[in-house]
Amino acid sequence: MINIIVGTETGTAEFVADEVLELLTSNNIQACITLEPVLKQLIPSPLWIVITSTHGAGDIPHNLHQFTQSVTNSNSDLSSQKAMIIALGDSSYDTYCQAGISINDLFLSANMTMITPMLKVDAMDADMPEDIVIEWLIQYIPSISDLI
């Protein structure tokens, strides 16, 4: 099962995650959303899709603090773990998508494999974030299907 890990402060990332879940399930890909990820429970998953906003001064949302700390302190071998990062932000700030960048760097330092480049979604864009994400994600459905 694919794990969609959501980092949110205002609910936007959670709404995007709901749309991603719908896309995956409509393509016969089992997935679930988690707002309180626990590293040991996620490790068996073939893919983590992290959808996170950035808040404050480039901070990771509060609900992901314990998870990112677990990854940082992990003695687990995460080299076989695959992930995707979808970062939501506002380009009018100098910390644009910093939470996603920080999580991407953390995963790379844990030797995880990023199966796509990180997607940055700008709140200043005229399109809705979920529309941007779905349009981008559709091209990776075959690759995701191959993982399960």
CA atoms within 13 A on the CB side of 13: 30
Confidence (pLDDT) at 72: 92
Sketch out the chain's domains with CATH numbers.
Answer: 2-147 (3.40.50.360)
* pLDDT tens digits along 111-133: 999 999 999 999 999 899 999 99
Count CA atoms within 13 Å of residue 69 on its CB side: 7
User: Other C-beta atoms within 10 Å of 145: how many?
Assistant: 12
Amino acid at 143: S
pLDDT score recorded for residue 67: 95
Q: What type of residue sits at position 60?
A: I
Question: Is this prediction's pTM over 0.75?
Answer: yes
CA distance 109 to 10: 28
Q: CA 148, CA 143: separation in Å to the nearest integer?
A: 9
Residue pointed to by tokens 């494999």: 113
All residue ranges of the chain with pLDDT < 70 are: none
Can you read off the two tokens belonging to residue 34?
A: 């988690």
Task: Identify the bridge partners of residue 21 per DSSP, sorted by sequence position.
Answer: none
